[in-house]
Structure 1
Amino acid sequence: MGIEALKYISYPAQVLAKSSKMIPVMLMGTLVYGIRYTIPEYVCTLLVAGGVSTFALSKTSSKTISKLAHPNAPLGYGLCFLNLAFDGFTNATQDSIALRYPKTSAWDIMLGMNLWGTIYNMVFMFGWSNASGYEAVQFCRQHPEAAWDILMYCLCGAVGQNFIFLTISRFGSLTNTTITTTRKFVSIVVSSLLSGNPLSGKQWSSVAMVFSGLSYQIYLKWMRRQKLQKKRKST
């Protein structure tokens, strides 16, 4: 859904919308698993939600719109947030599994997610005669360069997943969150400066608002970790 959204909104808009991942994670955690969050965590969420909303309501430049296949901001953002809703449920479930089954490693979760994801996608793409998978295969036959791009995209994604889980297992989720947040901000800057997706002053303010919320969230996690380490040392 996140990739499909790129037909309707720009890449910076998609990255910024997907940066609000904490919103569905907190909603799903509260509604499904009864997790309680602190007031500072809700402040982070409001900063991110406000920044994304302001960015979405800002006028997009005509140059950026001309590059979109089917410009449709409500549909594009709707797909992003639907993707985040499923992502939030997945993350909340992963946390629940980690608590219930402490011996479950990050690699076990990665294998399970990718295995079932492959099965579901194969059924969805090739489960009936008019499924979209056959059209995609035909397109790749007609355009071999596109097939190569797709292969490289999948390989990079697979390698990237390994680094993500390796970072989490070796250095913790805080380090991974910091790296991910920095990458997203750099992606928006590079896309704006080099890829011809100019942002207005109001949109840059929205970007700053979102990443202020994300940075504050990282700081809260760091403070929580410091308190835990002090308790362990005192005991």
Structure 2
Amino acid sequence: MVAQSDASVGLKRVMVLAFCVAGIWSAYITQGVLQETLSTKRFGPEAKRFEHLAFLNFAQNVVCFIWSYIMIKLWSSKSTGSAPLWKFCGVSITNTIGPTMGIEALKYISYPAQVLAKSSKMIPVMLMGTILYGVKYTIPEYICSFLVAGGVSTFALLKTSSKTMKKLANPNAPLGYTLCFLNLAFDGYTNSTQDLIKSRYPKTSPWDIMLGMNFWGSIYNAVIMFIVPLLFSNWPYANGFEAVNFCRAHPEAAWDILVYCLCGAVGQNFIFLTISRFGSLTNTTITTTRKFMSIVVSSVVSGNPLSAKQWGSVVMVFSGLSLQILLKWKRKKA
């Protein structure tokens, strides 16, 4: 009877894990396809591009704010020990700037290149740890960073296919990669500050964080995209009014943006579920494999052919990431 009970619990755990994997993969791979579509597709008989990619970040903030508010009302409650809303005011600035840079990079580099560049988060972390704090890493950890850095650098130096280049709005690899690495820098600050808030207010739930970050993010993006253009007629950056007018003229783009935002909100819920049931290391493993699959989907489905050397660079990066995950699993067991 006990054996049957243990087997039943084990089967249920495997099914929940499979559910989490399917949820994260389907949500974020679909979101990646839509992100690439919105950055490269030409809409309508005029064959116009959607030039306002920063609008995606604003739309994502609004949808995720509404989503987290509903989740809190349905499944949680604002406990007395959770972080107050104003605590997220400052960190939401970097959370607004960073993802916007990552999205804007798609005007200059391909989606596979963006995914690879954003997968190299360990490199700035190790550099900052070594230079600023004198942290000493193990040889296997340096091998991980070497594989990732080497793979990203090689991919960046290799020639991109003409078919992929034609899809880009303004091909400019140095600018695109710079935006991605700035995105990583801002994300590093954002994540560490969120961890600090969580440590000071232990009763803060993931939905509380999601609510606070997206509340302020919605305000900041609304100011940048709708108020500043009214004050400065020659505002050269994101213009929310132009983005809304484009969506009115091309409902297909509006639908893609809505689904893109819903995928982000749903994906966040699956990440919360994975971390709560299986831990952050399992979540890292799932999201890393998802990034690799996103590149495969982009190459096969979205028509971004990669050369054999480029695939070698991709394998090199994910070999480094896989080794890093393996080292973490070994430390966890120890």
- TM-score, normalised with respect to structure 2: 0.63
Corresponding position of 1:71: 171
* Paired residue type of 2:302: S
SS at match of 2:256: helix
Alignment match of 2:262 (pick from 123, 144, 155) = 155
Between the aligned partners of 2:266 and 2:309, the Cα distance in structure 1 is 36
Query: How many pairs were matched up?
Result: 226
Corresponding position of 1:38: 137
SS at match of 2:106: helix
Corresponding position of 1:124: 224
SS at match of 2:135: coil
Corresponding position of 1:182: 289
SS at match of 1:20: coil
Matches within 5 A, 1:66-145: 66-128=166-228, 129=230, 130=233, 132-145=239-252
Does the aligned pair in 2 maintain the 1:9–1:73 contact within 8 Å?
yes
Is the alpha carbon distance of 1:108 and 1:45 closer, same or farther for their aligned partners in structure 2, counting shifts above 3 Å?
A: farther
Does the aligned pair in 2 maintain the 1:22–1:88 contact within 8 Å?
no
Question: 1:226 Cα deviation (Å)?
Answer: 0.7
Alignment RMSD (CA, Å): 2.0
Does the aligned pair in 2 maintain the 1:174–1:218 contact within 8 Å?
yes
Is the alpha carbon distance of 1:108 and 1:24 closer, same or farther for their aligned partners in structure 2, counting shifts above 3 Å?
A: farther
Is the alpha carbon distance of 1:120 and 1:140 closer, same or farther for their aligned partners in structure 2, counting shifts above 3 Å?
A: same
SS at match of 1:3: helix
Is the alpha carbon distance of 1:180 and 1:160 closer, same or farther for their aligned partners in structure 2, counting shifts above 3 Å?
A: same
Is the alpha carbon distance of 1:160 and 1:52 closer, same or farther for their aligned partners in structure 2, counting shifts above 3 Å?
A: same
Is the alpha carbon distance of 1:144 and 1:98 closer, same or farther for their aligned partners in structure 2, counting shifts above 3 Å?
A: same
Does the aligned pair in 2 maintain the 1:10–1:64 contact within 8 Å?
yes
* Paired residue type of 2:264: G
Between the aligned partners of 1:162 and 1:176, the Cα distance in structure 2 is 12
Question: 1:73 Cα deviation (Å)?
Answer: 0.8
1:226 counterpart = 2:325:
no
Residue ranges of structure 1 left out of the alignment (5+ in a row): 228-235
1:209-233 per-residue CA deviation (whole Å, 9 max, x = no partner) reads: 1001110111111112112xxxxxx
Question: 1:140 Cα deviation (Å)?
Answer: 1.2
Between the aligned partners of 1:200 and 1:102, the Cα distance in structure 2 is 48
1:119-177 per-residue CA deviation (whole Å, 9 max, x = no partner) reads: 21111111221461111111111112211111111111111111112211221111111
Is the alpha carbon distance of 1:135 and 1:29 closer, same or farther for their aligned partners in structure 2, counting shifts above 3 Å?
A: farther
Between the aligned partners of 1:194 and 1:184, the Cα distance in structure 2 is 15
Between the aligned partners of 2:282 and 2:305, the Cα distance in structure 1 is 30
Between the aligned partners of 1:105 and 1:69, the Cα distance in structure 2 is 40
